[in-house]
Structure 1
Amino acid sequence: MIRISSQFDSGAIEVVDASDPTNIRLRLRDDNTADVRQWFHFRLQGARAQACTLVFENAGQATFPGGWEGYRVVVSYDRRNWFRLQSGHYDGQRYVFGLTPDFDSVYFAYFEPFPWERHLDLLGTADASPVATVSDLGATPDGRDLNLITIGRAAPGKRRIWVIARQHPGETMTEFFVEGLLERLYDTSDPVSRRLLERACFFVVPNMNPDGSVRGNLRTNARGVNLNRAWREPDMTDSPEVALVRARMLGTGVDVFLDIHGDETLPFVFVDGNGMVPGFTEVHARAEQRFSDTLRAVTPDFQTERGYAQDRFSDEMLTLASKWVFHQFGCLSLTLEMPFKDNANLPDGLFGWSAARSRRLGEATLQALLAALDAE
């Protein structure tokens, strides 16, 4: 008998009818307290060697319906090795995909999950590193720890580099990015890492939204708040994650800031800067260009031709992390975006954009950060 379950870390799906393997009818589940839907993560059992067709009946009511165009579902049998289905069809209302499972259990997800246990392992690796320390900034609405990893030692004359990820919990590629960045930064035999830690201290929040991550939300925390719209006036009740990180930033100062994200619709890796924010000068423009030029030189996964159109400035922009940081500190402050689909500039038919590519992008980004410091 076929069974579909999602009662596990980051699980999310609603089952309409699973009685017919050729027409398994599903609905994307809302974030726990917000009218937001797109993330899914569930297990299908009991369908070995049966041709299964699965349908997201409300795909057209997803938060980013354009995200289904060209999208392929991520699949795993062992939750360690993930691959993309070769096909999927979106008709404007429904997203339909199929698989004949090789085993009794198979997992489907919007992107490769980054489980809470892996997050704890990431913290343990930091604790074991001679160049890193882990501290607790405070508690989330659900009572989880909000952790900060500090790499290197703060000292007079050293630059302060802040990196945050996973404000939107469904953007799991961002914590894989941080994992790759941190592992290279811990390597004391890597000349780029050594030079960076001679000149800078890193402050890294690998998961800004622990509650949303475990609950299987796409964009909001346990209180239904989109954290990347809370930076101007964070609230210790509804958005303590932002309030706690912002307070620490004000205490340390910020010289470079990266906010790591994933984009559901655009199949590219790109950065979004601050050209529309008051106070942006030619000096800031050159710093953004230098970062982008270096990252493009060290990894063909990055490009500068496609990204977000520049909006006219309004105070509402200061609710976004990278805009608030630039306005507050006047430093290089960027939002870096990765795709949920594939990188159209360098497509991979088997894996699409993946956890492995996210990790390697994190590693490569250290060279762009070094170039930013060298230019000062």
Structure 2
Amino acid sequence: MKITAQFDSGNIEVISATDPSDIRLAIRKDNASDFYQWFHFRLHSPHRELHTLKIINVNDSAYPDGWKNYQAVASYDRQTWFRVDTDYNGQELVISHYPEADSIYFAYFAPYSYEQHLDLVQQAQLHERCQLVELGETLDGRDMSLLVIGEPGEGKRRIWITARQHPGETMAEWFVEGMLERLLDDEDAVARSLLDKAVFYVVPNMNPDGGARGHLRTNAVGVNLNREWQAPSMEKSPEVFLVRQMMLETGVDMYLDVHGDENIPYNFLAGSEGVPCFDARMQSLEQNFRQYLLMATPEFQNEIGYEVDAPGQANMTVASNWVAQQFNCMAFTLEMPFKDNDKLPDDLYGWSDVRSMKFGHDSLTAVLAIVDQLR
């Protein structure tokens, strides 16, 4: 029996793995950080019996409440990820599974590897509407890639989408893949109508170093990118520095920063009510977009989410708040669950990579509904 995490986005430490009924594991912290929650590993075992895998350090993880009612995902082919029996007993996360093949992968959520990311941007740039722009490099020397979709022109809205500032929130890049698939479909009326009115600037992966290293929340040197937007640097947060620099060149009329939430089992939006420039116009835009998204997909809801910031009390180091204030535009943080969407539960898959992609696809209907109101 062998357990390994020596691959792209792998994360686990083996405490003991000799008895299938008592495998003991621990999640490794992000480099130079105390954050940890993401895991991804492979179990190879010839034993056809119930395997009990206990992750023993979950109580001190970044979001211990996130383990309540959580089910890990597993895959035999690394394509289809399904939920497996998982129990949080207050001390350990216990995964119980009877392997049907010699090798099986387990993860916190369906992974989105750096290789998949490279495939995504390379395939997208083959479309005549799409340009691949390399903004610079990360601290580990990976490319910071921007996809520009549509032809810039007078009067066109500038819509920015970023994903995976927190690298373990892989549902965010699945969301972007679904969005791109529709946006680059020549026969899709919503996409064609949108690109007549707007140009999309899409960063599918804001944190490729963290993703490849198996981090939950930080980049290569332990920096939380979504707290760097007021004063990023090439020394600590080049990912934000480079994207922010391009935003200042292009301008922004709408912004979605796509994330995943460990605790809340719903899809929801966090707005920019606490920024100094928030006014009746921005309030109307936010309310309208939420209503359009409710009409576009039953996966979205608007009752449960984060507490709204008091006027003038927003954390301006957060991406959506900085963008809203800098460009006086509608800016949201979009959150998806690691668990399931309790509004539409699915016992086999929970909230999944496929559902994230479909949510990205459907969200463009709401963007089309709001685009003429953005300026």
For normalisation by structure 1, the TM-score amounts to 0.98
In the TM superposition, what is the alpha-carbon distance from 1:316 to its structure 2 partner?
Answer: 6.8
Contact 1:229 1:320 in 2 (8 A): yes
Contact 2:9 2:213 in 1 (8 A): yes
**Which position in structure 2 is the counterpart of 1:365?**
363
Alignment of 1:332 with 2:349, yes or no, is: no
**Which position in structure 1 is the counterpart of 2:59?**
60
**Which position in structure 1 is the counterpart of 2:13?**
14
Distance 2:360 2:353 in 1: 11
Alignment of 1:193 with 2:191, yes or no, is: yes
Task: Give the SS at the match of 1:143.
Answer: coil
AA of the residue aligned to 1:59: V
Distance 1:183 1:351 in 2: 22
Distance 1:312 1:92 in 2: 34
Alignment of 1:76 with 2:75, yes or no, is: yes
AA of the residue aligned to 2:372: D
What does 1:199-278 align with in structure 2 at a 5 Å threshold? 199-278=197-276
AA of the residue aligned to 1:13: I
**Which position in structure 1 is the counterpart of 2:116?**
118
Question: What is the CA deviation profile of residues 102-125 of structure 1, one whole-angstrom value per residue up to 9, with x for unaligned ones?
Answer: 000000000000011111110121
AA of the residue aligned to 2:197: R
**Which position in structure 2 is the counterpart of 1:36?**
35
Equivalent in 157, 160, 163 of residue 162 of structure 1: 160
Alignment of 1:46 with 2:45, yes or no, is: yes
Equivalent in 128, 131, 138 of residue 129 of structure 2: 131
Distance 1:343 1:205 in 2: 25
**Which position in structure 2 is the counterpart of 1:26?**
25
In the TM superposition, what is the alpha-carbon distance from 1:314 to its structure 2 partner?
Answer: 6.4
Task: Give the SS at the match of 1:237.
Answer: coil
Mean Cα deviation higher: 305-314 or 99-108 = 305-314
Q: Which consecutive segments of 4 or more residues in structure 1 shift more than 6 A?
A: none
In the TM superposition, what is the alpha-carbon distance from 1:33 to its structure 2 partner?
Answer: 1.9
AA of the residue aligned to 1:252: T
In the TM superposition, what is the alpha-carbon distance from 1:130 to its structure 2 partner?
Answer: 1.3
Contact 1:61 1:93 in 2 (8 A): no
Mean Cα deviation higher: 274-283 or 160-169 = 274-283
Task: Give the SS at the match of 1:318.
Answer: coil
Contact 2:27 2:36 in 1 (8 A): yes
Task: Give the SS at the match of 2:316.
Answer: helix
Instruction: Give the % identical residues.
Output: 52
In the TM superposition, what is the alpha-carbon distance from 1:374 to its structure 2 partner?
Answer: 2.9
Distance 1:52 1:313 in 2: 52
In the TM superposition, what is the alpha-carbon distance from 1:375 to its structure 2 partner?
Answer: 3.0
In the TM superposition, what is the alpha-carbon distance from 1:88 to its structure 2 partner?
Answer: 1.6
For normalisation by structure 2, the TM-score amounts to 0.98
In the TM superposition, what is the alpha-carbon distance from 1:373 to its structure 2 partner?
Answer: 1.1
In the TM superposition, what is the alpha-carbon distance from 1:28 to its structure 2 partner?
Answer: 1.2
Task: Give the SS at the match of 1:88.
Answer: strand
Distance 2:47 2:81 in 1: 18
Equivalent in 341, 344, 347 of residue 342 of structure 2: 344
Question: What is the CA deviation profile of residues 302-359 of structure 1, one whole-angstrom value per residue up to 9, with x for unaligned ones?
Answer: 0000000113466771100000000100101000000000000000010000000000
Contact 1:21 1:47 in 2 (8 A): no
Question: What is the CA deviation profile of residues 127-175 of structure 1, one whole-angstrom value per residue up to 9, with x for unaligned ones?
Answer: 2111101010000000000000000011111110000000000000000
What does 1:302-317 align with in structure 2 at a 5 Å threshold? 302-312=300-310, 317=315
In the TM superposition, what is the alpha-carbon distance from 1:5 to its structure 2 partner?
Answer: 0.2
Distance 1:301 1:8 in 2: 33
AA of the residue aligned to 1:283: R
Task: Give the SS at the match of 2:154.
Answer: coil
Mean Cα deviation higher: 40-49 or 156-165 = 40-49
Distance 1:224 1:313 in 2: 31
In the TM superposition, what is the alpha-carbon distance from 1:48 to its structure 2 partner?
Answer: 4.0
Distance 1:138 1:315 in 2: 33
AA of the residue aligned to 1:52: H
5+ residue gaps, structure 2, are none
Task: Give the SS at the match of 2:24.
Answer: strand
Alignment of 1:181 with 2:174, yes or no, is: no
Contact 2:314 2:321 in 1 (8 A): no
Question: What is the CA deviation profile of residues 46-81 of structure 1, one whole-angstrom value per residue up to 9, with x for unaligned ones?
Answer: 244121101011111110000001100100011111
Contact 2:230 2:317 in 1 (8 A): yes
Task: Give the SS at the match of 1:12.
Answer: coil
Distance 2:11 2:310 in 1: 36
Contact 2:176 2:204 in 1 (8 A): yes
Mean Cα deviation higher: 121-130 or 351-360 = 121-130
Distance 1:287 1:312 in 2: 18
AA of the residue aligned to 2:28: R
Contact 1:48 1:102 in 2 (8 A): no
